[in-house]
């Protein structure tokens, strides 16, 4: 026993969207439920799969501060999005903890009526310093990225020589502050850190934290992605289950991105985000707001809808709402489902560090 069949994403009894809200739905009948807000395009890491140093070097033109949305602008948009069905907001980046006074934004967003879930994704480098302030400001949960437990591998991947210990201290501080359970994101790249998958699962087993193994994706155009670099989800599950017996868990909610598995001995669970080998576009309820206020309806598009222009040109709430409706109603993105088609490879895409994961 031990190796579960790798199931397709959606069980027949997964919760359906729209209960209780006048749902805004897109062209493929998908509601708007999640908003990821990038608060900066800057980062203190140079992960080779996200912001390769050759591209994001000293000469790279990051957004000037005046072009980045203020906390007031972000919060105003968040209210409008929540009124249109958004229940969950994830603060991301770039690295969100390098944005000055980020806990103030957390406090402002956590006061938005109707928002059920406020979370943040970080590389963890500044988390030891920030965890308590984030919790006190109203952050409910946190996701910390960590790609290996071995310094030589992790430092090569973050490319700024940041040690594993620093991230683990951030995770400990977050847990001590009450941001529990913590999700740990590990991007798995063949020949780079795939041998660390079982060690990562074992390390966090029994801690209450949930490791989520992420298939390396072809986001943006700078990371030199090749299909042969991807370790398929089924292989990740097989490798872990061979040592730590697993069984599948039903999704918690409609639109959940991770396939969940629990340890058969009851010592916790893991998630697998299989966006390459098992696309989940048909349940995709996510919108992404870039640091300069453009809305992207898919991770794999270069078309951003400019909310900042409307915000700064005196747009009313009604005009902002109408703009959101006009964008979402015609949305028909499903890149992951058509990735293998010829045209998908050549289309321009926004960088992950620009709109967050």
Q: Using CB under 6 A, list all residues that contact ligand SF4.
A: 43, 45-47, 50-51, 93-95, 123, 145, 275, 280-281, 284, 286, 298-300, 333-336, 353
The residue range among 162-170, 230-238, 317-325, 348-356 that interacts with ligand SAM, by the rule CB under 6 A, is 348-356
> Of 40, 75, 336, 353, which lies in the binding site for ligand SAM, with binding defined by CB under 6 A?
353
Q: Say how far apart CA 132 and CA 130 lie, in whole Å.
A: 6
DSSP string, 34-99: EEEEE--S--S---TTTS-TTTSSTT--PPPGGGSPPHHHHHHHHHHHHHTT--EEEEESS-GGGS
DSSP code per residue over 326-346: HHHHT----HHHHTTSHHHHH
Cβ nearer to ligand SF4, comparing 171 with 299: 299
**173-192 residues near ligand SAM, rule: CB under 6 A:** 185, 187
Residue 97 backbone dihedrals phi, psi, to 5 degrees: -80, -5
Partner touching 336 among ligand SF4, ligand SAM, none, CB below 5 to 8 Å by kind: ligand SF4
Within the chain, how many helices (H) and strands (E) appear?
Answer: 12, 12
Residue of the chain from 75, 119, 121, 193 that contacts ligand SAM (CB under 6 A)? 121
Q: Is 356 in the site for ligand SAM (CB under 6 A)?
A: yes
CB of 51 to ligand SF4, least distance (A): 4
The interface with ligand SAM within residues 203-232 (CB under 6 A) comprises: 214, 216-217, 219, 223
CA distance linking residue 321 with residue 156, whole number of Å: 44
Within positions 15 to 54, which residues make up the interface with ligand SAM, using CB under 6 A? Answer: 43, 49-50
Residue nearest to ligand SAM (CB): 357
Q: Cβ 83 to ligand SF4, closest distance in Å?
A: 22
**What is the C-alpha to C-alpha distance for residues 211 and 202, in angstroms, rounded to an integer?**
10
Output the smallest distance, CB 99 to ligand SAM, in A: 11
**Each residue of 296-323: b (16+ CB within 10 Å) or e?**
bbbbbbeebbebbebbeeebeeeebbeb
Is there a contact between 245 and 1 (Cβ–Cβ < 8 Å)?
yes
Asked if 352 interacts with ligand SAM (CB under 6 A), we say yes
Q: In three state form, how does the secondary structure of 265-313 look?
A: CCCCEEEEECCCCCCCHHHCCEEEECCCCEEECCCCCCCCEEHHHHHHC
Of 76 and 212, nearer to ligand SAM (C-beta) is: 212
211 binds, among ligand SF4, ligand SAM, none (CB under 5 to 8 A by kind): none
290 touches which of ligand SAM, ligand SF4, none (CB within 5 to 8 A by kind)?
Answer: none
Query: Is the Cα dihedral 342, 189, 333, 29 positive or negative?
Result: positive
In angstroms, give the least distance from the CB of 96 to ligand SF4.
9
Q: How far is the CB of 217 from ligand SF4 (least distance, A)?
A: 9
Q: Which residues bind ligand SAM (CB under 6 A)?
A: 43, 49-50, 92-93, 95, 121-123, 145, 185, 187, 214, 216-217, 219, 223, 352-353, 356-357
């Amino acid at each position: 026993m031990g190796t579960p069949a790798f199931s397709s994403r959606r069980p027949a009894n997964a919760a359906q969207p729209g209960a209780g809200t006048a749902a805004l739905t897109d062209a493929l009948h998908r509601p708007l439920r999640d908003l990821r807000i990038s608060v900066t395009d800057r980062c203190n890491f140079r992960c080779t799969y996200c912001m390769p140093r050759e591209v994001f070097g000293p000469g790279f033109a990051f957004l000037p501060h005046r072009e980045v949305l203020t906390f007031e602008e972000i919060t105003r948009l968040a209210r409008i999005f929540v009124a249109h069905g958004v229940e969950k907001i994830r603060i991301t980046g770039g690295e969100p903890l390098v944005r000055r006074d980020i806990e103030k934004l957390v406090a402002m967003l956590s006061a938005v009526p109707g928002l059920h879930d406020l979370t943040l994704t970080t590389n963890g480098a500044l988390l030891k310093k920030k965890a308590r302030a984030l919790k006190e400001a109203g952050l409910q949960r946190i996701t910390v990225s960590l790609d290996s437990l071995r310094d030589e591998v992790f430092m090569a991947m973050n490319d700024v020589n940041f040690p594993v210990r620093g991230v683990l201290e951030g995770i400990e501080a977050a847990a001590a502050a009450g941001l529990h359970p913590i999700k740990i994101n590990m991007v798995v790249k063949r020949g780079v850190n795939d041998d660390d998958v079982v060690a990562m699962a074992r390390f966090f087993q029994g801690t209450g934290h949930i490791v989520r193994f992420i298939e390396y994706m072809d986001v943006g155009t700078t990371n030199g992605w090749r299909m042969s670099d991807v370790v398929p989800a089924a292989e990740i599950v097989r490798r872990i289950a061979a040592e730590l017996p697993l069984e599948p868990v039903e999704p918690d909610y409609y639109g959940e991105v991770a396939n969940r598995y629990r340890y058969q001995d009851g010592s916790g669970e893991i998630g697998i985000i299989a966006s390459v080998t098992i696309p989940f576009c048909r349940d995709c309820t996510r919108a992404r707001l870039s640091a300069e206020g453009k809305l992207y309806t898919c991770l794999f598009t270069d078309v951003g809808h400019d909310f900042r222009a409307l915000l700064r040109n005196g747009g009313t709430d009604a005009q902002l709402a109408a703009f959101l409706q006009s964008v979402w109603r015609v949305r028909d993105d499903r890149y992951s489902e058509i990735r293998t088609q010829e045209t998908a490879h050549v289309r321009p895409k926004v960088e992950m560090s620009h709109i967050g994961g």
